[in-house]
Amino acid sequence: MGTSSAEREAMARALALAATPGVPFGPNPRVGCVLLDDDGRVVAEGLHRGAGTAHAEVDALSQVDDALLRQGLTAVVTLEPCDHTGRTGPCSEALLTAGVRRVVHALPDPTEAAGGGARRLREAGVEVECGLMAEEATRLNRGWLHGLRHGRPFVTWKLATSLDGRSAAADGTSRWVSNAASRRDTHRLRGLADVMMAGTGTVLTDGPRLNVRDEHDRPLPRQAQPLRVVVGERPLPGDAAVLDDSAATWVTGTRDLSAVLTTLFEQGRREVFLEGGPTLAGAFLAAGLVDEVVAYVAPLLIGDGIPAAQGLPFTSITDALRLDVLDVTTIGAAPETDVRLTMRPHEKEA
């Protein structure tokens, strides 16, 4: 049958609902739902607000009166309705009970426990379409999907570098390599993660707060902050900025990256934003634990200085880690225009 323009607009809205700021991250996917009538008008919206709360479909259905339900609605959902009973009942059953006649979802649920909702709906006579805005839905839940495949959080390494690849000058100064617009953009990306990570060397040398701040440099509410994680064995002074009360902090006391990521995964953390420390960045890269790179490249030459990553085990150009460029964007106005590169490590053919 295909999907309509109203359903596409509804899916875009459902994705926006799923990404609502302040909704806690965790081991569950982020899901939004929009209900449409026969004329393509929105009659209700819903979203999942975290473990134990109503699923997006049930949240939306709870806002519709019986008269509308009797007409038979279309549910537009970012993820296949679940077909299992956990803390809440199956969304497939809720949709059938409500008399929904058509379901459009972006992604199939890949989990053995919750998958199968689409099949159950079809068997009951409901029209089901899958794949609308699948790319956008995948990006929304990349941490959750990555965790299902790899059993660890998705790691994004952010760096700010000069054109000659330096994160700081020879005397150690680095404020600021990137421009103000890039720094604001960095806080936007921080807010999309549930972990902010740096090494003890960076924390001791630069004194970063590692929190998410608004355009006026004010920290967002504590409940909206990622967990701050400091990797390394050196102790931190009690007055370290990263230990303030603006966000929770875990000082790992270890350099074992796999153990740190395993612990974070077990805690329900799915998105790590790695920022700060060429030594830590080099260790993550060498271990193959970086899934995305966001580089802010400033149009300046520093000369001798500190490289963006240290300790990489490459001695030949044939050994180099190659990246696929996903996006190139200029940020800021001349004469301080940075270039933001978003990249993924290139997957070598088997």
Indicate which residues carry an active-site annotation: 57
Cα separation, 344 vs 292, in Å, equals 5
Distance of CA 18 to the CA centre of its chain: 12
Residue 112 CB-half CA count within 13 A: 1
Q: Is 1 helix (H, G, I), strand (E, B) or coil?
A: coil
The residue ranges of DSSP E strands in the chain, in sequence order, are 32-36, 42-47, 74-79, 102-107, 127-130, 154-162, 166-169, 195-199, 227-231, 249-251, 271-275, 292-298, 305-307, 323-331, 338-345
Provide the token pair at 232: 């390394």
Neighbours of 145 (CB within 10 A): 18
Provide the token pair at 85: 């009973």
231 has which bridge partners? Answer: 199
